[in-house]
Chain A
């Protein structure tokens, strides 16, 4: 039954997908690249970074490919000049929202935001950069939470909730004041629910959550973390 196949056109190329697939999956399976940041295979899609937005013919709105299911005869454009421009702007906004100084970041050379910036040729930001500094949480003996580098993709929250099953992390406040919290906004060391599994640091696309004293290239593997692969195969 699930083998019912949907035919769609992505960037002029005819591709086939399962009806339950998202546009992103259909594209990736067929070798078509769509940039993502908050998306992580195996976790509930968030739809927040907006980098994966695509144009669907007949729909005036841009759709996030990580959340939109395919349908028969869908015609999708993934890289129009408008989309490329918007993606570039989004990367600029992320880089200017908090303090992102690659040279002093543990994720330097191993950062998804940095990678995207160079891929899209972001060589400056047209908006002013924000230099407001947030206090680091270095209380925990193993982990560091640096809000200054956080892009609020919520991967850590989702992995903590959906894979580890504890929901130690969440977001406090809203809008530009949003911030990752541990339990009731406690220092990490005081957390009563954290299992110290370290999955949050493994999925962080930037250097916001990391293991003390280690450069991310040592702690983070490029491929999908094993615990997510395990869950997916279940």
Chain B
């Protein structure tokens, strides 16, 4: 859980980056990247903070943050399952695996499960097309993925989580 001190530390990191860029307005995207890295997502508080520091209108900051797919504005689940839906992966059946996962775990792409445990994302091409279809579970890349393999992996992940708590 986040305590107020760790929050401050993260804010210091963001502020440091802003200073490095000399509060330049054109660094907005870079600053959003850094804030997204340290917080894991971008909430309105941090967006407003960046808006004030860079002297960019809040609506513009919000417009930029929501334009780019990479930035998440909601807290993601503790595990991220990312499906590559690039052409090569699609042709090799990534959609089928994703649908199966959505069905089994009752979750839709782009969303986080009600218990906050898993988030499912669809991305366009991770660039490992020769190994298609690719699924990334947390930080591990599964190449030439099969439906069984991915479902099993996620089941294990959730089991592990249960036994930990």
Tell me the A residues contacting B by CB distance below 8 Å.
Answer: 161, 166-174, 181-185, 193
Contact = CB atoms under 8 A, between A and B. Distances in A.
B66 A172 contact: yes
A58 B59 CA distance: 41
Interface string B47-67: 110010000011111110011
B62 A185 contact: yes
A193 B57 contact: yes
A161, A174, A185: most-surrounded residue (chain B CB, <10 A): A185
B66 A167 contact: no
B124 interface: no
Interface of B: 44, 47-48, 51, 57-63, 66-67
Nearest to A179: B66
B47 A184 contact: yes
A167 B60 CA distance: 8
Nearest to A169: B59
A185 B44 CA distance: 9
Given A170-B60, A172-B63, 9 more contacts: A167-B59, A167-B60, A168-B59, A170-B63, A174-B66, A174-B67, A181-B59, A181-B63, A193-B57
A184 B62 contact: yes
Nearest to B45: A184
Contacts of A168: 57, 59
A171 to B, nearest CB: 5
A183 B66 CA distance: 13
B44, B48, B61, B62: most-surrounded residue (chain A CB, <10 A): B62
